[in-house]
Each structure stands twice: as C-alpha cells, then as structure tokens.
C-alpha cells in the first residue's frame, strides 16, 4: 500500500494486523481520486485538490486522507476510534507527510463530528465505515444536520458490493436529503457512491 500521486508519491503506508482495518486498495483509491478530481476542480490541471479541506472518517490507515494531502489539499481531519488503528494512522501520517496539514481525532465518529460542527465546511469527505455496522444513513444525516460539508462539497461513501447473481447486478445507492448522487461505481467487492451537497 502506498501513496499513488502527488508530492508524497511512492511513500509506503502500513496497516495494523487483524480484521478491524480494511485498507482501500490502490486500484480503488486511484479510481476514487480520478472521479473526485473531475468533480471538484476539473479545470485546475494537476492540482485539483489545491486549497481544499478534507475529512477522512473511519480513517483506518489514513490512506485516503494522506492521498488527498499529497495531491495538494490544505488540510485533512482524520477520525479513528480504534487505538491500534489510530497508532498506525499516526505512523503513516508522520512517515508520509510529517504531519503537514493533518489533524487526528481519536474518538467515536459521532463525537468527532459534533466537535467539527462549528468549523468551516469540508470540501471533500471520505467515509468508509465497517460494512456490517450500517452507519451510512446516520453518517449522511449527521453531516447534513451539523453543516459539515460545504455547499457543493463531495462525500465519498465506500460500501460492500452485493454477491453474485441476477439480484446483485445492480445495487442502487440511496438518496439522501441535502445531497445529490452523482456517481455510483463498482470495483470488484467494493461500491463507491459519490454525493454532492446541495440546497435541495
């Protein structure tokens, strides 16, 4: 696992042992960042993340937030409640970015979002909760209720793809109040849903 592009390109990232952390593969990560870059700043050439603020929710190894910082984001808040995962996250940030632009919040995600409530809006949020936890609806509602995502900001949800067979050929992403679904892609066992914050 490594940083794919930007000023920290090639930096290796580590993952803790066990099943608590499910690192996003480099293939999926590249696809996610290609999608997001085309949405947030399609005319900004090689630096679409320049000046952006990010949130890496259920951060795990921090691979998504670190990638955003590498590609020019001004800042990223990493939220992780697991102690082993947070220790790994700290090591990855120190190794890859030397802490530049990064802030780690070690707490339950609900507590973390409540703390972020009064801060300026986030431009890009990544949320990769445990697949079995079913937090997706609550996460999206909390992001909306607390006004965390800026107008026009992007939320990337990563979830498990359904199994094989006719019933699993398409797994429609949910619609959420205050957000417009603008992308839905499947990569093997992973589904990526991309939402844009709207006034609707």
79 in a domain, yes or no? yes
Each residue's pLDDT tens digit, 94-130: 999 998 999 999 999 999 999 888 666 899 999 999 8
- What's 97's domain CATH number? 3.40.50.150
Instruction: For residue 7, tell me if it sits in a domain.
Output: no
Query: Does 15 reside within a domain?
Result: no
**Structural domain for 169, as ranges:** 26-197
Q: What is the pLDDT of residue 161?
A: 82
Is the residue at 5 inside a domain? no
Residue 147 lies in a domain: yes
Q: Is the pLDDT of residue 166 over 80?
A: no
Whether 161 maps to a domain, the answer reads: yes
- For the beta carbon of residue 97, count every other beta carbon within 10 angstroms: 20
**Average pLDDT value for residue range 136-153:** 93
On whether residue 92 sits in a domain, the answer given is yes
Q: How many domains does the chain have?
A: 1
- Does residue 17 sit within a domain? no
Residue 92: left (phi > 0), alpha (psi -120 to 50), or beta?
A: alpha
Instruction: Identify the helix (H) or strand (E) that includes residue 160.
Output: strand 149-160
Q: Average of pLDDT values for 175-185?
A: 93
């Amino acid at each position: 696992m490594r940083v794919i592009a930007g000023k920290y390109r090639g930096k290796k990232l580590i993952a803790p042992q066990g099943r608590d952390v499910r690192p996003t593969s480099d293939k999926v990560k590249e696809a996610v960042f290609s999608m997001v870059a085309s949405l947030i700043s399609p005319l900004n050439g090689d630096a679409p993340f320049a000046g952006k603020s990010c949130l890496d929710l259920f951060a795990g190894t921090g691979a998504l937030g670190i990638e955003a910082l590498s590609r020019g984001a001004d800042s990223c808040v990493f939220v992780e409640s697991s102690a082993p995962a947070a220790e790994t996250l700290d090591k990855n940030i120190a190794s890859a970015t030397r802490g530049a632009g990064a802030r780690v919040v070690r707490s339950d995600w609900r507590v973390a979002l409540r703390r972020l409530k009064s801060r300026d809006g986030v431009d890009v949020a990544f949320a990769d909760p445990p697949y079995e936890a079913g937090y997706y609806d609550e996460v999206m509602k909390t992001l909306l209720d607390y006004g965390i995502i800026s107008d026009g900001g992007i939320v990337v949800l990563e979830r498990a793809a359904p199994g094989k067979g006719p019933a699993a050929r398409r797994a429609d992403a949910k619609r959420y109040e205050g957000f417009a679904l603008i992308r839905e892609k499947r990569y093997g066992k992973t589904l990526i849903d991309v939402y844009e914050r709207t006034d609707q």
